[in-house]
Structure 1
Amino acid sequence: MSQISTTPPAPPVLRPSRSRRFVQAVDQRLGLDALRYPVPEHANNLAWSLGGLTAAALLILIATGVVLAQFYDPTPEVANASVRTIVEDIMLGRFLRSLHFWTAQAMYVLAALHLIRVFFHGSYKRPREANWLIGVSMFGLTLLAIFTGTVLKWDQEGYEALAHNLELGKILGGAGFWFSSTFAAHTPILVRLYSAHIMLIPGLLVLLVILHALLIKKHKISSHPGLPAPAPDTPANLVSGSPVQDGPAGLAQVTTPSGETYSEAQEPFTHHLRRVGAFGLVLLAVLSAVAVFFPPPVGSTPVAGIEVTKPMWPFWWMFTLENWFGLPAILWGGLAFFLLLFAVPFVDRNPKRSWRTRPVAMTIGALVLTALIVLTILMAVTTPAAHLNM
């Protein structure tokens, strides 16, 4: 007599869903799973997400810029009229131009705040010096993008901004050849600035953003100096932001030199991107509201021989120096500022990162920031002065 088997049947093998199979197929070919490297919990707060928000602003600028470029004509004779056509005759043209205008300023502010946050927490220190240099370069490119965008309006403000840079090009001599009318006599400089604004500058920004992100993945998001620092001999796998071992799920355990142990929650970088994406949507909503209620005006066609406008506010501190010391002060003041920024990780060699343990660096940083704010305020309350001898 045969016996009835009491062994339970094996559970059926569930085949992954079609969407899951698609994701797996893409990951096998592109390695997207590499984005799931762990990041510490503190990286999800707003201050530590300013870099991601700056990238979100860049995406908004690229998207709106692509649309605006379809209707803009960089020929000097009709450039200003084409801007007016975008605003008055193109569906959503006024909104898109306004969104582009305000997002450019938001990107400048976010990039500046991100640099300040990195400086405050000492996140530029070894081995992250290269990423600081990349960040400063992107900040400079953002200023160049704002300048070229100002000129492209080809109103009185844009015309005078270009005139200043033509004069600065003369001061530079051979180094300022690009801002010379003889560099490409058959091509108006407005056309060359347009190509820089829509191709050269965005292309460099995207390239640097990619390199910036790759270095973040390599070195991990810096630990928070307010938390206990890991011991010098702590294995790499236990440092915050590295794969977790020997600890509770989702936690990185770090032992300090005094023997104290602390844990910080971690999650995949892809989850961090979701939070940055949420912040980005809030940013888009706020900028959209500002764009609707405060659209920038369209200036009139420029008149040669006069100097009556102020530049856009990110440049005000330079123009206060111009009022004091003449036109060359814009050039030398700007160069001194960016050389100082580039020098930060090489001058501040103090391995400590807490602001309390870096009194010299924090004092110098506070003085530079205060000077920029004061110079900006002075230009806000000063009547524009003529320096171009037009």
Structure 2
Amino acid sequence: MSRGVLSGIRERLAVHALEYPIPARANRWDFMLGALTLAALTVLGLTGIVLTQYYNPAPLGAHDSLRYIITELPVVTWLRDFHVWSASGAVMLVFAHLAAVFWRRGFRSPREVLWWSGVLLLAVLFGLAFTGTVLRADQEAVEALAHAVAGAQLAGPAGAPFRPDFTPSSPILTRMYGLHVSVLPLALVSILALHLWLIRHLGVSATGEARAAFLTHLRPLGGFVLVLVAAVAALSLAWPASLLQPGVEGFEVTKPFWAFLWIYAAENLFGMAGMLVAPSVLFGFLALVPLADRSEGLGARITRIAGVVLFSLMLAAIAYAALAPAQSHLDMPM
């Protein structure tokens, strides 16, 4: 292809808009975690669109539709496995991205709103992971939904949408499907648009003189994205996503998706209230970080130490819950 044709394509696609300067340090791998998260979310969206064509969100048909996919549609089964592993990858990447931004204090003025939009994205991602679990309609899904209903009772009016009697005309599983495929994705895209717009106008939070074009950042990033996709594809082939037997209410014999194990550990230790207290502590701390660390003084040191302690406790709680036997929580004191 001639240079003239390439130049014309670049001009018409406004490729020059990607040539704005960024610090050369921003081309390191740890500054690509956010973009890799975006890549994982894109894969989730694409595979999710395919899965909606085969999934039945009716309570009596949900599990059977997944069983049909697994037994009769090998390609769609692999896409489902890809979807599940991409969800795990997205959660791990967003936490790694958050930890990296926290450590280099990328939340400080004027980036407070950028940080808060990232915290909201994390909350929405948790919502997508939860509703995705519930849609399986197997034993783990039934137990997860029972915990959500119990948590809704503890939350009072704020938890009304998660109660079965909120809209008697629509089963709660169908409402979870609506959240998973419409409400939460719309929220994700909207917040993500704000997040990316702020990054573009505030710049990458890296120190150093701006002397590298953002376009050069995309080249190594493309390689990392290919590695990510290949890793997820390999995991999907080696360890297919599970589907337990149809769920039976009144029993607690499973553990949640690994990203929720820290909440499960809080329930082990503090009863059902731990389901609300643990997320409140995490997201409350994340929301306060830009307000607490505004200078180089004592507040900054305390914030960093508190963050390291909190993230360490989360990892320890996940390990504890993974190794501990399954426990019944619904019959514990509220």
Q: TM range, normalised to the smaller chain? A: over 0.9
> Counterparts of 2:9 and 2:293 in 1: how far apart (Å)?
49
Alignment of 1:161-172 (within 5 A): 161-172=144-155
Instruction: Quote the Cα distance in structure 2 between the aligned partners of 1:326 and 1:301.
Output: 26
- Give the residue type in structure 2 aligned to 1:222: S
CA distance in 1, matches of 2:128, 2:7: 41
Q: How does 1:62-81 map to 2 (within 5 A)?
A: 62-81=45-64
Per-residue displacement from partner, 1:216-255 (whole Å, max 9, x unpaired)? 111111223xx6xxxxxxxxxxxx33xxxxxxxxx4xxxx
* SS of residue matched to 1:39: strand
Structure 1: gaps (5+ residues):
1-14, 228-239, 242-250, 252-265
Aligned to 2:23: 40
2: CA distance, partners of 1:385 / 1:34: 54
1:297 deviates by 2.0
The alpha carbon displacement at 1:373 in A equals 1.6
Q: Which amino acid aligns with 2:261?
A: W
Normalized against structure 1, the TM-score is what?
A: 0.81
| Secondary structure of 1:373 counterpart | helix
Q: Pick one of 207, 217, 226 that aligns with 2:200.
A: 217
Give the one of 82, 87, 97 matched to 2:65. Answer: 82
Q: Distance in 1 between matches of 2:314 and 2:7?
A: 52
Shift of 1:40: 1.6
Instruction: Give the 4+ runs in structure 1 shifted more than 6 A.
Output: none
| 1:40-119 map, 5 Å | 40-119=23-102
The aligned counterpart of 2:126 is 143
Partner of 2:316: 374
Q: How far off is 1:164 after superposition? A: 0.3
C-alpha displacement of 1:271 = 2.7
Query: Could you tell me whether the CA contact under 8 Å between 2:262 and 2:321 is conserved in 1?
Result: yes
Contact 1:68/1:86 (CA < 8 Å) preserved in 2?
no
Mapped pair 1:277 → 2:222:
yes
Contact 1:317 1:379 in 2 (8 A): yes
Say if 2:285 is the partner of 1:340: yes
* Cα 1:137–1:66 shift into 2, 3 Å: same
The residue type paired with residue 126 of structure 2 is L
1:360 aligns with 2:305: no
Computed over aligned residues only, the root mean square deviation of the Cα atoms, in angstroms, reads 2.0
- Aligned pair count reads 331
Q: Secondary structure at the match of 2:32?
A: helix
Write the distance in 2 (CA, Å) between the matches of 1:141 and 1:119. 19
- What TM-score results when the alignment is normalised by the length of structure 2? 0.94
Identity value in percent:
35
Tell me by how many angstroms 1:275 deviates.
2.4
Q: Deviations over 1:322-364 (max 9, x none)?
A: 1121112111221121011111010111258xxxx95323221
| Aligned-partner SS, 1:387 | coil
Pick one of 350, 362, 368 that aligns with 2:295: 350
The separation in 1 between residues aligned to 2:32 and 2:3, in whole angstroms, is 34
Q: Find out whether 1:178 has 2:120 as its counterpart.
A: no
Q: Secondary structure at the match of 2:77?
A: helix
Contact 2:10 2:16 in 1 (8 A): no
**Structure 2 residue identity aligned to 1:179:** F
What's 1:233 paired with?
none
Moved more, 201-210 or 301-310: 201-210
**Greater radius of gyration (CA):** 1
Preserved contact between residue 294 and residue 300 of structure 2 (Cα < 8 Å): no
Alpha carbons 1:125, 1:351 under 8 Å: kept: no
Alpha-carbon deviation of 1:286?
Answer: 0.6
Gaps of 5+ in 2: none
CA distance in structure 2 between the partners assigned to 1:304 and 1:51 by the alignment: 39
For 2:330 and 2:288, how far apart are their aligned partners in 1?
A: 32
Shift of 1:26: 4.4
| Shift of residue 383, structure 1, vs aligned partner | 1.5
SS in 1 for 2:22: strand
| Alignment-mate amino acid for residue 188 of structure 1 | P
